[in-house]
Amino acid sequence: MPRKTINQIEVASQRVLMRVDFNVPMDDSGAITDDRRIKLALPSIRSVIDRGGRLVLMSHRGRPMGNGYESALSLKPASDRLGQMLEGVRVIFPGEDCIGDDARKSVEALGDGEILMLENLRFHAQEKAGEVNFATRLASFGDIYCNEAFGTAHRSDASMVTVPLAMEGKPRVAGLLLQRELTFLREAIEHPKRPFVVLLGGAKVSDKIGAIHNLIGNVDTILVGGAMAYTLLQAVDHDLGASLVEPDKVEEARRIIEEAKSSMTELLLPRDHVCGKELSHQSPVKVTDGPDIPDDWLGLDIGPLTREAYIKKISTARTIIWNGPMGVFEIPPFDEGTNQLARAIVSATESGAISIVGGGDSAAAVEALGLANGFSHVSTGGGASLHMLEGRKLLSVELID
């Protein structure tokens, strides 16, 4: 259902507490290597400050221990980059504790059109735990709550769920990026143009079981790649060599295959593979002539026959959702399946298809290939996208007015 957005509410002289997703990658020197998530939040940020609002930004970065400040995971570089993007706008960074006295005093002194960036929320273990007292202190920093963090929309962290609960009675709205994410995904899932094709990849079938069950009977074709395919192939008695298989999920995989057979959904598994002896660009390479993999070899990418079959399905699709790479895309030559299918989706998009990349490694792959602009939408949230593919509600979104 549509949610009220930050554009639809008066913000002048009001403190807007906005949960953003500034979990940006950095190199060993502390320099940001990809600032896309900051750029995508700019329309919501400008909506507040251009109308005289007082903006308090909060985010996490990485996976700190939750025992206090860790310099390597500070949000100071993200705050500095935001200041560079918003030339002439003051961005305040009050110190090492997001709920400390310095933060509180800085929030109280915030002026119209100014921005304050709180330090990494996850320096406090209470953030992941959704702890009420921690959330209450954060909630005191805002007159309005804005959720602009689709990347964590599936989580029950304090800033996502407990803070908006603590701000009941105050306006709770969606950021413009969050609204865009929800609109694209919901429209594709609930009202797809057909044929509707979903590509699922990644390491573990266990991560995608819920999505597969929900999609069977609702989509026309599911194309499976990545290591998750090996558990499904074992379920139909293929030899997989030394490939990654989840033995405890084989029976569930067998049920998935049977369920697909009795539905209108076509479930396609790899016909051949590109294999290596080890996970390295220096590994010897073997291309199989069928779905079986020889002993002591690892399946690391879909093979040429599979690529051809999958590209044919993609070429006729009108709605395409992609969640998970087809192989180990970070290590050539095991990136070719992901690369070729990404280019095929771009081609289908140019021919009128709606294409959505469901965040995570798939988004990283298309960004690395320079193809992101060729898709209808590249999501910032792999986990949240998968949640929606499973047909599950996002509690953090349900709390928005």
Question: Do residues 385 and 359 touch, judged by C-beta distance below 8 A?
Answer: yes
Residues 205-240: b if buried by 16+ CB within 10 A, e if exposed: bebbbebbbbbbebbbbbbbbbbbbbbbbbbeebeb
State the distance between the two ends of the chain, measured CA to CA, in whole angstroms.
Answer: 11
pTM exceeds cut of 0.95: no
Judge if 6-179 and 192-389 fold alike in CATH terms.
yes
Domain 6-179, CATH homologous superfamily name and number: Phosphoglycerate kinase, N-terminal domain (3.40.50.1260)
Q: Catalytic pick from 46, 76, 170, 204?
A: 204
Catalytic entry in 360, 374, 381, 382: 360
Q: List all residues 6 or more positions away from 164 whose beta carbon is below 8 Å from its beta carbon.
A: 145, 147, 172, 396, 399, 400
Farthest-apart Cα atoms in the chain, separation: 68
CATH architecture of 192-389: 3-Layer(aba) Sandwich (3.40)
Active site (annotated) includes residue 170:
no
Residue 3: the pLDDT is 78
The answer for residues whose C-beta is within 8 angstroms of residue 321's C-beta and 6 or more apart is 185, 188, 189, 197, 198, 199, 355, 356, 358, 389
- β-sheet bridge partners, residue 39: none
Cα separation, 133 vs 137, whole angstroms: 6
Residue of 83, 100, 210, 383 marked active site: 383
Cα three-residue angle 374-376-377, rounded to 5 degrees: 105
46 included as an active-site residue: no
Cross-strand bridge partners of residue 174: 5, 147
| pLDDT of the residue at 359 | 79
Half-sphere exposure of 129 (CA within 13 A, CB side): 10
Q: Is 383 a catalytic residue?
A: yes
Domain ranges of the chain: 6-179, 192-389
Are 209 and 185 within 8 A, CB to CB?
no
Per-position pLDDT tens, the chain of length 401: 557 999 999 999 999 999 999 999 999 888 999 899 999 999 999 999 999 999 999 999 999 999 999 999 999 999 999 999 998 898 999 989 999 999 999 999 999 999 999 999 999 999 999 999 999 999 999 999 999 999 999 999 999 999 999 999 999 999 999 999 999 999 999 999 999 999 999 999 999 999 999 999 999 999 999 999 999 999 999 999 999 999 999 999 999 999 999 999 999 999 999 999 999 999 999 999 999 999 999 999 999 999 999 999 999 999 999 999 999 999 999 999 999 999 999 999 999 999 999 978 899 899 889 999 999 999 999 899 999 999 999 999 999 99
Q: Which residues contact 365 (CB under 8 A, 6 or more apart)?
A: 325, 329, 335, 338, 339, 342
Contact 6, 47 (CB under 8 A): yes
pLDDT at residue 2 in the model: 58
- Among candidate residues 3, 15, 19, 37, the one labeled active-site is 37
| pLDDT score recorded for residue 361 | 87
Tell the residue number behind the tokens 């069977």, with chain if given: 216
Query: In this structure, which amino acid lies at residue 113?
Result: G
